[in-house]
Amino acid sequence: MKINVIGAGIGGLSAALSLLAAGFDVRVYERATALSEVGAGIQLSPNATRVLHGLGLEKELALTAVKPLAFHQRRWDDGRTLQRAPLGEPVEARFGFPYYHMHRADLLAVLAGALPAERLHFGHRLTGITDRGDRVSAHFAGHADADADVLIGADGIHSPVRAALFGPEEPRFTGCVAYRGLVPADRVRHLPLEVTVDAWLGPGRHFVHYFVSGGRVLNFVAVIEQDAWTHESWTDRGDPADALAAFDGWHPQVREILRAVDETFVWALFDRAPLHRWSRGRVTLLGDACHAMLPFMAQGAAQAIEDGATLAACLAGAGADPAGALRRYETRRLGRTARLQAMSAANKTRFHLPDGPDQRDRDAGLAAGATGWSFDAIAWLYEHQAG
C-alpha cells in the first residue's frame, strides 16, 4: 500500500516512521523548503516514548533529552509547593518508559534522520486533493501530482487537508497568549533550579520552565490571559520587557529567568472543538489537524505520535478496505483525544484561579494527590499502548 503524508512536523514524521515499520511505501510532503523550528521545548510522556522507543529511536533521543526528576507545581508569589509528583526513574519504573524534555528541533532531527531521505519531499505546497475511489491524488503548486492508496493530513491546526474534507473553519482563540523563550543554562546557574518541570500557578496566568538540549538550555513558557488575538503563529517575536511586566510581583525566580532571555516569541493559543469524524474515503487526519488542544496537559505532540502508531496498526489489517481501516483508526482515537482536549481546556481555568476559595480548594486537591499529575491520576494516560 502506498501512503502519502502531508506535513513533516512531529506528527507527520512519526506517523511515517510507524507506517514504514509496518511495511508501507510512505512519502512525506512538506511545504517548507527545510525543517526548521524556532526555539521551543516539548514534553514527551511514557505513552509517547513507548512508541518512539519501539521505532528504534531510544539511543538518538537520549543524546539530547533530559529526564526531569519531578513535576513541581508552585504558588506564584512565594514559591510554595502545591504538588510535587515524581518523574525520572520512578515514572520509568511504573510505566516502563521515560519521561523526556526535549527541544523540538532536536526531536525533529531524530525523526527526520530515521526516515530515508528519498521519502521526504520539501517545497511541496498542497493546493488540493482528489479521491478517485481506488486512489487519492495530492496536487501541489509547481510540482506533479502524487498518487497513493491513502492520504494523511498531518498539516497542523490550519490544515488544508481538513479544509478539503470538511470545509473551511477558523480555529478559536482560547483567550491565552504564551511568551516562550530559551535561556542558556549558564545564565541561571545562580538560581536554585532543579532538573524538574516547574509550573507556577497564579491569578490569570502561569509560568512553566524546564531544561532541554542535554541540560544546556532552559526552556520557559509564560502564559497570560488576553481578550483578543488576530492570528496564530509560532514565530511572532515578542518583547521580553512585556513578558517581565506581565509577571510583576511574581516570585523572584520567575522574574530572574525572564530577565535572562535575549528574545521571546509570542504565541497565541488556539484550539478547535472535537470533530465527530476525521476520515472520508481514503483520506484521514492526525495531530493538530484533527484535535488541536491547549498545551496544558503537555499532550499535543504525544497524541499525534499515538495517532501515527494507531493508524499504522489499523492499516496493517486493512486488506482491500483502506477506508474501513481509517474508520477504525478514528474510532479508536476520537474519545481519547477529545478527553484530553477537554482536560487541557479545563486546566486553563484551574491554573489561573484568582486567590480565594476556589484556589484554596484546588491547592488542597493537589496536596492530596487527587488531581493533576499524581501517578494514580495519570495512569490511564501514561499506560496507554497505541495500536
Would you please indicate which residues are annotated as catalytic (active-site) residues?
A: 210
Query: What's the longest Cα–Cα distance across the chain?
Result: 63
Q: In what order do the strands lie in the sheet with 264-271?
A: 81-86, 70-75, 197-202, 205-212, 217-225, 172-184, 264-271, 236-238
CB-based contacts of 163, cutoff 8 Å, min separation 6: 169
Q: What is the DSSP string of 53-118?
A: HHTT-HHHHHTT-B--SEEEEEETTT--EEEEEE-HHHHHHHHSS--EEEEHHHHHHHHHHHS-GG
Return the residue matching grid coordinates 520557559. Answer: 220
Taking alpha carbons only, the member of 235, 232, 248 closest to residue 181 is 235
Cell of 252: 523572584
Set of cell numbers at residue 24: 508501507
Contact 61, 110 (CB under 8 A): yes
The neighbouring-strand residues paired with 302 are none
The angle at the Cα of 108, spanning 343 to 262, to the nearest 5 degrees, equals: 80
Cell numbers standing for residue 186: 549558564
